[in-house]
Amino acid sequence: MSLRTLLLCCCAASMAESWRQTSDPRDELPELHIAGLFHREDWQDILAFRAAVDRINMDKLVLPHVRLVPIVEIVSPVDSFSTGKRLCNITRQGVSAVFGPKSSETLGIVTSICETLEIPHILTHWETSPRPAKFQINIHPDPKSLSQALVALLDDMAWRTFTIIYENDDGLVRLQEVLKVHGPRDNPITVRQLGEGDDYRPLLKEIHNTSESRLVLDVSTERIVDLFLQARQVKMMGDYTSYLVTSLDAHTLNFSVVNSWITDKRNIANITGMRLVDPTSIDVQNAVQDWVFSERLRGNTINITPEEVKTSAALMYDAVHMFAKSLHRLNQTAPEIYEAPLQCDGFQKWEHGERLITFMKMTYSNPANEERGMTGLIALDPSAEYRRTNFTLTLVETNSNNATGTWNMTGIHLFRSVEEMERSEKQKLSKKLMRVVSRLGAPYLMKLDNWTEDSRNDGLEGYAMDLIHEISLILNFKYEFYLVKDGKYGSLNPTTKQWDGIIKDLLDRKADLGICDLTITYDRERAVDFTMPFMNLGISILFSKPQEPPPNLFSFLSPLSLEVWIYMATAYVGVSLLLFVLARITPYEWSNPHPCNQEPTELENTLNLSNSIWHNIGSIMQQGSDIAPQAVSTRMVAGMWWFFTLIMISSYTANLAAFLTVNRMDDTITSAKDLAQQNKIKYGCIEGGSTQAFFKNSNFSDYQRMWAAMEAARPSVFPKSNAEGVDRVLKSKRSYAYLMESSSIEYEVERHCELMQIGNHMDSKGYGIAMPMHSWYRTLISGAVLKLQESGKLAALKEKWWKQMHGGGKCQKEASAGEASANELGLDNVGGVFVVLISGCAFAFLVAVLEFILNTRKVAIEYKISPKEALLMELKFALRCRGTTKPVHPNRESTPSSADTQSVVQLNNFKRLVANPDK
C-alpha cells in the first residue's frame, strides 16, 4: 500500500469519528441518517459514500425537503460482535438505511439486525448467498451473470484448454458457469488453488512444466502484481502466455511496473481483464470531481483519477444515489418518511422499512425507471431475486489499458474489426525475430559447403527455407534457422511423458516455428499448434526395381508354350500325311496329264507327299501355293487346316506384340498386404517418427501384423534417418523394403532410378509448420500458407526441389528414353528371326550344293568323262550368271551302233554352249 493510501485511510478514520459533529447550512430541513460500515482499507468507498451524500444534498431536484446525514463507521472485518454493537448504537439514534460491510464474517450479524429491525440493507460487494434477505438489495453484478460473461469471453478468445488459479472458494462460485459448460468430451481444463503464503513460484513452475500458456486468474487485486512478478521469474510472462483476470479492479493496477520487468518489450504476456467502471465515461469523470470537491470542502486534498476508481467505490456512489432517488419518488406518492430510534434488543421495528425496500425493488425493476451511474445501467431483475443481471462490462488489455470491446446480455461486441485486429497482429509480427528450428533432411533442409555452427541461414538451403522465406515476404518478418540438437522430429516418451526433438524446443519456447517433413499427428497437435498442411501425402513403400531378364534371341517363340509348338508340329505332319493318303484314295484327285489326248493310258496325282507338305506349309506361312485339292474330302481337310492356322497365327501375332514390347518385370510385392503375408522380405520405418506411431497404434489387422514383424525383426529394421533407410534398400538386393512418406519417396525415386514406389497410400496426412501452443500468429502463418497454395507457389517450390535441384529429373529422362525404346523393337527382341532366316538359307545352300554334286556325278557317267572334268564344266556354267538356256543331255534311248558317235558330237556341242551360252 502506498504512503498516499495510508494517509488517506488515517484521514478517513479521523473524519469518521468527527462526522457526527459536522453541520450543514440547511439545519432547518428534516434529517435522515444513512450508515456506512467500512473496513479501514476501504478509503475509496468512504470518499464515494460521503461525496454521494454531498451531491444529493446539493441537488434541488432530489430530496429537496430532506437532508441526508452520512454516518461512517470503521469496523473490524473479523469481529462480528464489535460490528453488531456499533450498528446497534447507530440504530438507537435512528437510521434509514445501512450500507455494507464487505466482510463475510461480519455481514451475517449486520443482516440479522437489519432484518429484525426492518431497516433497508444495501450491499455493493460480491455476495454469493443463494437467496438474499427480505430487506436486502445488492447492486453488485450478479455472480452467475459475471460467470456467463467469462464463458462468452473464453469462447470469443477460443480458449479450449486453460488452467484456472483461484484464491478461495468464492472463486469457484464465480467460475461456476465456466465449469458447467465444460463437458466431459471437451478438452481438459485444470483447476489449481493459489494457497496461503506469498511464494507462488512452486505452483507456477508446475503449470509451466505442463506447457500450459493460458491461465484464468481469480485472485484478489492486491496479489495480482506479485503473482506476475513471480511469473516472470519462472518464464511465464512471454508473448506465448495469456492471462484472463476476473477481478473487476485489475485495470486500476500500475502495469507499467510489470512491463518494465520485461527486457524485450515486444514479448510481453497478453493480460485481458474486465471492468465495470469506464474511466472515459462522463458520469465517472464527474463523480471523481465530486469526490475531490467534497473532500476539499472538508479541508482534505486528494489526488485520484478516473482510472484509479475501484469498482466497490463506484458501486457505493451509485447505491447512495439509488437510495436517494427511490426515497424521493416514494415521498412524492406517500407521506414523508421519518426516522425512529430502535433498540436491537427491543420489539419495535421501523414502520417505513418494508415499504421503502419494496418500493426500491419495484422502482429499479421497472425498465421505465432505469438509472445510469458510474457503473452504467442500474437495473434489478425480479426473476433473479432482484439481483443485478443487466449490466455492461468493458474488455480491457490491462497491461496496455486499451479497451477492446464490451459484454452485455446480448454477447461480446468488439471495437475492432477482424481486418483491424489482423493488421495489428501483422504489425506486431513485423517487429519480431522468428527463430525457426529444423533438422537436416533432403530436400527440406541441407547444408552448404560453407556451413558452420554460427552461419545460421547462410549455410543452409532447401524447401523449408524457401517456404519460410516466401511466408516472411507476405507477413514482413525476419527469421533465423537453427538445427535441433538431437536431430529428431519429436516423439512422446510414454514413460516419462516428455517430448524430444523439434517438439521439445517448441514446448520450451526456444523456437517460434518448427518446419521440416514434420507430420501433423494427434499427439503432436495436443502439444503444439500447427498451420494448415503445406503438403499432403501418405505412407507408401520404397523398394528396389526388379532386374530386367537377359535378352532372348528366340523370344519370338515365347507367345506359345513348348507344348503348343510340339502339338502344332505334330498336327502339321499328321494333316500332311492325311491329305496325301486321301488324295491317293479318292478318284477325283487323279487327272489326265495330257488334256489333248482324250484317251490317256495313265492318270497323274499332283498331291504327292512333297506337294502335300508344301501345301500345308504355305497355309501356315499365310502365302498359299499353286497346288489345290480337287476332291471334296481333300478340300475339307484343307479347309479345316486353314481354319486351324488362322486361329493359331492370329493368337501368335497378338501375343507376340505383347511379348516383344513389354519387358516382364518380377514384382515380388505390390502392396502392404503382400508385405504382411510374406516373411522373406524385411521391412521397417524411421525410428521415433509418425510412421512408426501409425503402425504401432493402428487397429487394422494387416498393419498390426506388420508392426509385430517389425518389432521382432533382428537386426533392427528401424533406421535412424530416412537416408539410412534408403541406403539399406539400395544395398539389400530386394530383401528390404522401407516404409516412408510418399513425398520423400518421390524425391528418392527421382534420383535413384533403381528404386520405385509400390502400392497406394496407407493413410492420409500432411506436413505442417509447428509453433508453441496458443501462438497468437498461428492464423497469420496459416493464411500465408493458404495464399501460397492458391497462387501455385507451393507447387512451384516442390517442382524446384524435387525435379530440378540436386539431380532431380534424372530418372524422368531415363523413363522417357525407356518409353521411346519400348515403342521400337531392338535386335535383342527380334534377333531370333534373323537367326532362323540365316539358318534356313544356309541349309538351303547346303542342299543346293548336294544337288549340284549329284548332278555332276550324273553328267560324268552319261558323258563318260571324269568327275573332275564334269564338276569344272558345271561349275563354270553356274558361275557365268548369264544365259537362260542349258543344252539337254544326250538321249538315253540312242541306238548302240551310233551311240558313241552321237555322244561325242553332243558332248562337243554342250562344251561349246557352256563356253559361249549366247551363241
DSSP state at residue 880: T
Exposed, middle or buried by CB within 10 Å (0-12, 13-18, 19+), for 675? buried
Q: Establish whether 272 is an annotated binding residue.
A: no
* Confidence bin at 910 (pLDDT 50/70/90): low
Residue 330: pLDDT above 60? yes
Q: Establish whether 814 is an annotated binding residue.
A: no
Nearest to 785 by CA among 768, 770, 802, 772: 768
pLDDT score, position 727? 93
pLDDT one-digit tens code per residue, 114-129: 999 999 999 998 877 7
pLDDT one-digit tens code per residue, 296-326: 988 888 889 998 999 999 999 999 999 999 9
Q: Establish whether 799 is an annotated binding residue.
A: no
Average pLDDT over residues 685-695: 89
What is the Cα 555 distance to its own chain's centre?
53
pLDDT one-digit tens code per residue, 209-268: 888 889 999 998 888 988 988 898 888 888 888 999 999 998 888 766 666 655 555 567
* Confidence bin at 891 (pLDDT 50/70/90): very low
Residue 818: pLDDT above 60? no
Q: Establish whether 691 is an annotated binding residue.
A: yes
Residue 434: pLDDT above 90? yes
Cα angle value 84/90/93 (rounded, 5°): 145
Residues 494-514 as b/e (b if ≥16 CB within 10 A, e otherwise) read eeeeebbbbbbbbbebebbbb
Q: Which residue has the cell 459475471?
A: 146
pLDDT one-digit tens code per residue, 834-868: 666 577 667 867 877 887 788 888 888 887 888 88
Q: Establish whether 524 is an annotated binding residue.
A: yes
Mapped onto helix, strand or coil, the DSSP state of residue 911 is helix
Residue 678 in contact with residue 669, Cβ under 8 Å? yes
Residue 346 in contact with residue 122, Cβ under 8 Å? no
